[in-house]
Chains A and B, each alone.
Chain A
Amino acid sequence: MIARGGLAWIVSAALLASVVAATQVPWSWSEDDRSIVRLSWRSPVSRVEECRPLTEAEREGRLRHMQRDSICSGRSVGFRLEVDIDGQSMIRRELRGSVEGTERMSVARDLVVEPGAHRIAIRFAPLEGPDAPLTLVDEIELGAREIAVVTIDDGRLLLRSSE
């Protein structure tokens, strides 16, 4: 009986210890020490509207209350994003607003790089319209697993890091 009681205590302690051990199992989020250049910003999207007069036939074909002089169609202005790191082209693509009518475009992209010094060049330009392109050319020293974030602040592309 005493032996069974002792064993019960030992098993209880082992069960509790296994619960405690299960709460702190060593695990690594990332396999390596590589760093990240993160593009993360939201940009207002311009809207372009094009109008043309309705032909007589088109007017006649419409209900009375819709018989206007002109018809307009609008679209969001896209952007071209170009990213170079250390002279190597990382991104060359055109982006369009993901959700119609939100009038904001989100850019979220992680570029994995080795730790060390890097030269970053970014150009974010509207595909049409009068707005000037946003550009960034900067150098940064990234430590192991460090993240440098490129964002838009006060209408300018800005590079942020933990330093």
Chain B
Amino acid sequence: MTRSIERWAWRALTPLDAALNRLYGWRLNPLYQSGALATVLLGVVLVTGVYLLFFYRIGAPYESVGAISAQWWGGAWIRGLHRYASDAALVAVAVHAFRMFAQGRSWGPRALAWVSGVVLVGLVLICGWTGYVMVWDAQGQAIALEGARLLDALPIFAEPVSSTFSGAAPIPGQFFFLNLFAHIAIPIGMAGALWLHVSRLARPTLVAPRRLWVGTTVGLLAATLVFPAPLAEPADPLRVPGAVPLDVVYNAWLPVTRMLPAGAALMLLVGGAAAVMLVPLLTRRRGGAAPPPSRVDERICTGCVQCSLDCPYEAITMLAREGARSEFVARVNPARCVSCGICAGSCAPMGVGPANRTGRDQLARLRERVPRGSIGDLEIVVVACDRGVGERVAAATPDGVQMHRVGCTGNLHSSSIEWFINAGAAGVFVASCPPRDCWNREGPRWTEARLFARREAELQSRVDPRRVALVPLAVGEWGRIEDEIARFAARLKTLGSGSVGDEMDEERECEDPGPIPERVLER
């Protein structure tokens, strides 16, 4: 059931990705950058919130917000930006979560990120609700009244929370103080949850590309100037709220729970939150469907650290060893390994990687399937990422092009490329996912560095780099596939024959890694 929802989500996401890629290009596709965009927008909320704090008064909440809104030179647009940025941040968070779910990146080693992400969403929501209550207009009153009604369904309060807003007595100042305190303290908790959220990632991307986040912020600012943040009628405990301008991004639950008895509404909300929290359990792959974690062949490992440096999930540490061929040996933590295979592409002597996907496994398969001299002189080999455009590239592959699909281009060992050239290929065209849409985070990045920037496990100098192309192709950029391959073929024609001879060395070792970084050492 959950897996079929996951597949449906993936089918829904792909055309959206394609449309926005066509519109903005993959570098600025907001769907690819949703998580980083949310972080930046929450930063905007934080900065604008500090300004608003100077003018907010607990003793006169509505009046002080009214005074802020009357500051045409500052408060009005800062308040608008504060509100709209918090809404946009929540939308970005929702897109990010949907994307991770649709791509099946919500279980196993990623479960911690998912669960902490759900906690983060909860904190963002609570922070938003307290923010609305701070204003103490009709919407703030509606949130307070309905929230109190739901809380009263819990048998934990000696006296009904609702009585605070009954109108029998003025609302105590402590209520607004506590509300303000929560509004300020929750972001501190959010910082902790965010740290946990990215704690299993090496080099987490917290900031979206500048053009995207500046553009979004300026756009929201412009929206604020055109449509100032609304301030509804003041809350009146002695009047039933009438028309309320509802923020459905934060408060879509209000009309739903209003129709239900408090207990049922509470169960609906708690049940929904629990279902989302349990997604890692519901979507986990079991048995043969679960990809195996990487393993280290300790007889081959030279302790060079490169796999540990390249692992996007900090799943590999270096362990001291004695009486062996090196001072250190790599160790994979299976609880963190997502089986991306990027370590296999990083290991010069090909001693690490998931079962059947190490560099040696790749070469063994190629020996069998693409024997030396089996490729015609002018033939191009296209290697495409299966998760991204692989299927489409396979369909669009013209004559004279041989197609190979890999789970992630980051898994591709440079020796495999050399093998293709040795086998007679004129060149190798690697079609990767866009860097920000790599399911394994850093596949295209490390592939590019290994092929063209001499990062360890580099493409050997005996291979002419002009015979290799790495092109990020995003879904939706179908028209580019044939164009890029044709352009590459034209370039190859000017280079002549491509064979590099018999010098392939499977036993090559890493260069001297120098001092080993502290963070990758296991004690």
Contact = CB atoms under 8 A, between A and B. Distances in A.
Nearest to A102: B158
Contacts of B244: 27-29
Nearest to A104: B159
B249 A19 contact: yes
B56 interface: no
Contact of A29 (B222, B241, B249): B241
A66 interface: no
B223 A27 contact: no
Contacts, number: 125
Contacts of B142: 29
Contacts of A26: 243, 245-246
B245 A25 contact: yes
28 contacts: A4-B23, A12-B219, A16-B220, A16-B223, A19-B88, A19-B91, A19-B220, A19-B249, A22-B248, A23-B83, A24-B245, A24-B246, A25-B247, A26-B243, A27-B255, A28-B243, A29-B138, A29-B240, A42-B163, A104-B159, A106-B159, A106-B160, A108-B166, A145-B241, A147-B239, A151-B169, A160-B238, A162-B239
B209 interface: no
Interface string B69-101: 000000000000001100110010000000000
B397 interface: no
Counting contact residues on chain B (CB < 8 A from A), the size range is 35 or more
Nearest to B249: A22
A83 to B, nearest CB: 16
A4 B240 contact: no
Nearest to B246: A27
Interface in B179-209: none
A40 interface: yes
B402 interface: no
- Of residues A22, A42, A149, A151, which shows the largest number of chain B Cβ atoms within 10 Å of its Cβ? A22
A65 B468 CA distance: 94
Q: Kindly list the 10 A-B residue pairs having the minimum CB-CB distance in the complex, ordered from nearest.
A: A40-B166, A151-B168, A29-B241, A27-B246, A145-B240, A162-B238, A24-B245, A40-B168, A23-B247, A149-B167
A92 B245 CA distance: 39
A1 B244 CA distance: 43
B103 interface: no
A147 B165 CA distance: 12
Nearest to B91: A19
Nearest to B167: A149
A32 to B, nearest CB: 9
